[in-house]
Structures are given as structure tokens and as C-alpha cells.
A and B are shown apart, each in its own frame.
Chain A
Amino acid sequence: MTAQTTIRKPNEKPAKNPEGKNQATGSKDIVLSVKNVSKSFRLPTEQATGLKQLLINWTRGIKGYREQSVLKNISFDVERGDFLGIVGRNGSGKSTLLKLISGIYTPDTGSISYKGKLVPFIELGVGFNPELTGRENVFLNGAMLGFSHNEIEDMYDDIVAFAELEDFMDQKLKNYSSGMQVRLAFSLAIKAQGDILVLDEVLAVGDEAFQTKCNNFFSEIKKDPSKTVILVTHSMDSVKKYCNKAILIRDGKIVVNGDKNDAANIYTEDNLRSLQKDAKDSSKNKYPTGLNEKVPYMKCVPTSKMVLNSTDSFEFDIEYEYKPSNPVYIAFSMLDTRRGGIPYDSGSILLGNNGKERQKVHFSLPLTLFNNGSYQIVASLRKADPDNPVETLREGFTSDENSCTFSISEEANGTDYALLKYAALDMHKNGTTDIKRY
């Protein structure tokens, strides 16, 4: 990934230097400090609540609940101008942490302190009421975020224009489509700029146009050194694109604190590992999808790391069992799960007449050509087609749970929306000529 900076796509964004955002000033200006924060919840063990249950629990001498520890001794600092990503699998405690930062929950131990105005968006459009008109909802939601009637009056036109809802503001919210509601909520949110913005999964909603608006908003706020953003997300793309720091939480503990690439990679690996684990669990069934009595077992098993650089090769075994005694072929495809399409297919490879026991074939896939992305290897066992000597017929294949996945993730060099790297092809520019119109 070197020396491709001369050829740039026309719509490419200017070079970013997220890591350098703070270093310019040199001094550390901490706006949010989380120190040794722990949090646990009481989960009731009895179904009923209320006076009766309290009395019953009291007479039986039981507590009626158990402690569930959600966050354990979390500490981190956020500096002014930071764009912090918080990642972690479902149930790892991200949202609890966000609610603690927003002051909705109070920590059991430890402390959280911040400077300036903190605006939380645990959800867009908090307090929206379907029975009120769009206009009334703007004022109500604005009040929730701490803006007076006059202040909202001043930004009202901007909000409506950004949401593109000029004609609907006197309609009740219940007559809005869900997309319209989200647009209104989001445009309110981005006008309500505090010093620290706390966002939870906001990017996960809305259509493409809305996503683009989010995108622009984040790119803009990222450049502003006075604004600090804390973003909880499952999208590693957003983490890599916007954040300059990231925190990975696993089971209520901070695993990675600081480096966004580490956080994103370990998160991806966590997820892939859990997919493999799921696959292992479900392979106990007699014949999962793609398998049958001729091919009772077939599975792709990675033998190298699953998050790689493009200089690495992805190493994997295809394990299989083939009952008939005719010659057997194997083929695998490499699927691009993010951009779609099949970048590579191995074609049928003759394995010959194998024994009926379990076999494995090892493959090594060089990744030099490819940009960052998530890929899946799907393999199939085939036999010769009696009607057509150049074709093969599929006997069995690996379903999603028996396929293996890997991803290429390295320091982004330019964009990675194309599958192939710049250097994959030898591009030639043959001079520039004027086109004359006659």
C-alpha cells in the first residue's frame, strides 16, 4: 500500500489527519473524565413486583433480586476535540456507559466529571408526542435539550429547512412517516450543538440520503476542534472514518483504550470468533444446509488470523467427507460481503478418488490485490458432469455456518470503497485533449 497518492478519484475526500487533531495544540484539555466507574443492576428473581411481593420476600428472608455487574472499574479521559468511538458486542455495557456519562444512571463507585454543555442522544426525538404537531414537537424536544422558546424560534427555520418538512410542520406527528420523524429529530439534534455530543447508534437508521447527511455532519464536526463527540456504534467503518480514539468494551471491562484500529480489529475478530462458535454448535445437526448423505461433512476452517493485512495470505483448510467412490472436485469462491460480488473463484480442482474418511485440503490465499473488506469463503464438492465434459455438478457445499470469514483491515490508504487496490492494475493516463463542440 504505497505510492498511490498521485492518482485520485475525483470525488475523493481531502486527506484526513484524525490522529493529529489534538497534537497541534500540545497541551491536554480534558473535557470528560471517567474514573474507576463500576455499575451493577438489581435483577428481580421473582416475577411479581409490588407490596405483596415485598412482604413475601421479607417474610421468606430473601432479597428477591440478584446483582448483575455491568461495568467493572472503567476509567478513561476524553480531550477537547476528540471523536471517541465506543465499540463492543451486544450486552457488553456500552449503552450503560453512555447512560452513565449522560447522567441518566448514577455510578455505584467512581466518578464522572465533564466541562461544558453535554448533549446526549440516547435516542433521536426524545419526548416526541404523536398527538402534537411537528412544530409543537420541535419546541418540546428543544426544551428537553435545554433550549428556551426564543432560542428555538431563532433556529426553527433552519431546522425545518434541513429536515425538508416545510409543508408538514402543522400536521400532527402521528401523520408523519417514520422517515419524516427521523429527519425532524435529526435536524433538531444537529442544531442543538453542545460542547460534548453523546450519540448512540444514530447512524443505524434512515435511508441513504439521510446517511449522507449524517456523514456530512460528522465530517464537519470532526474538523471543529471545540466539539467533542462520543459515539457508540457497531459500524467499524464509521469508527475508522470519524474517530481518532476508540474504546473496546468486553464484558464490562475496557479491552482497548485509545487506538481505534486495535479496537476495530479486535471487535471484528470477536464477532468472527462468535460466528465460528455458533457454527460449531449447530453442526451437531444431522445434515445442515448444503450437506447430504453423499457429503455428510464439509467445513472451511481458518488456520491463520482472521483479520489480516493485504501483505498476508489467508490460510485455511477445507475439511470434507465424500461417500461415493467416483473422482471428486473441490471449488471455492471468495465473496465480498460488504461490496457484494464474487472477486475470486478457484474453479473445479480435481482431488481424485479419495478414501471415505474425513479429508482436508489446505489453501493459502494471497491478498495483495485487495482493499479492506470482509470476505467469505464458500466451498463446494463436485463431480464430473456426464453430459458435459467441461462442467461439474455440485454434490454439496458449505452453508453460511460452515463457511469461513476473514477480513482485511489495515491503515487505510486512500479510500477502500473499491475492491481492488490502486496498485492492483497498472493504470495509464494518455495525455489530455480538448473536446471541441461543433
Chain B
Amino acid sequence: MKLSQSLCASIAALALAGSVAAADQSIIVQSTTSTANSGLYDYLLPLFQDKTDIQVNVVAVGTGQAIKNAQNCDGDVLLVHAKASELDFVEAGYGTARTDLMYNDFVIVGPEADPAAVGGTTDAQAAFAKIAASGALFASRGDESGTHKKEKSLWAESGVDPSAASGQWYRETGSGMGATLNAGIGMGAYVMTDRATWISFGNKQDYKIQVEGDDDLFNQYGVIPVNPAKCPSVHVDAAKKFTDWLISDEGQSAIAAFEVGNQQLFFPNAPKN
């Protein structure tokens, strides 16, 4: 018993030492995966950290989990892409204010052979209906992420209830974007993904974008500082500095300047003050 007591004591000591050292100069961003996986933060954060001595730590998880983590006060800033959930988050008092940050769009990728013959379609709902009718495989995130929520709303608008075919042609991976792409490509299924993840994805094989250009495939990212009234532990000032920088002219042009393979991945659209 003595051992476990001293163990607890040493853990606590370690913890205190660690938390003191971390001080006020670091914040945690609960982020969606697309921004992290595409390398956006690797590009942005050094620019921001050159100007301030705030250390920005990014935890990249699905939008659903990012919001939950932020509700548990385990983040200082939330950066996700599911507007309705983001507004609920602010409404419930967890965030101070939501600001549009940037956008890109979703695309539907599929194998070269295109078994549902949706290639070139610009109508997302029609493409979904065709996929369902053809019985071609479709791999869904199935994880309540921003992408998954968007996909579900498109299914609803196309008049198909894919959940009835779950496990048959409709395959819910319950994983992140990258894992779902890997799985979908492995089984020859169509996948809906954000363009940023797709462009920077390394395992494309014979896949290409089959459906794009529908206004309904618009993908808006928002940024929300976590509310200190709900979470007294948040680093308010540092979080505000980071958010302000992202939506400043400087931050916005940095976002616009980020490219992978000569393609711009995110398009800044924060409101000008």
C-alpha cells in the first residue's frame, strides 16, 4: 500500500511540475481532422508562433468528438465544420462566439470504372440516388463528424434511406476520413470527402473525383473560442489572440496561401470588421 501511495504522490508531483511549466503560453485547439491531415496547421502555426510566444497544440479528431471534448473543457479553441452543431455549442454557452473562418467543398470520389455512372454529375442528390439504385458500394464515415452530418443531409434530400442498406451496399466505417478513404478504396466504394483531405491523401490508387461543383457540397469551417464562463480553466487571452489572428487579414491571407500540389485547399471567408 505504501508503494501505491508514493506512486500517487509522485504522479501528482509530476503533474504539478508539468502544469506549472506549461503555464499560460499554450492552448489546445480541438480540431477536425481535415485541417490537420492536409498539413494546414504545419503551415499556419509557425507563422503565428513567430509573432507570439503562444504554443498551439492541435488535437485532431472528428468534428463530433472535437465538440464533445470542448464541452468537457478539454480545449481552448474549437475549429470544426458543422455549422448547426457549432451554433448549438455557442447557444448552450460553451463557446463565446462562432466566426466563419474559411471554406472548401466536399467531393464524391469513386473508382475509375464508375459502376454507378455518376461521373461528371454536378447534382449531389441525384448522384446519391443513382448510387443507391445501382447497388454500388458507398463507404460512410458513420461517426457523427461534420462530413458525416453533411452526407446524411444529402441522403435525406435525395429521398434515399441508406441506413436500411447498412452492411449491404452502405458501409459505415465508424472511423475518420483517412481510414474511411482507405477502407472505401479497398472495397471499391464511393466515398464523400472534403477536398482538402482528398488532395493531400496519399493512397488514391485508381480513384478520382466523380462528383463536384454542387452548391450543396459547400463546406464551411468555423472557429469558436471556448467560453470561460463554462470552463474557467481555459486560457482566454491566448485563445482570443489565436482566433483573432486567424480571422485577421494576415491569418486569412496565410490560409489562402497554403497549397498542396499547387492547389489551394481552403478559401478564407471570415467577415471583415
A and B bind? no
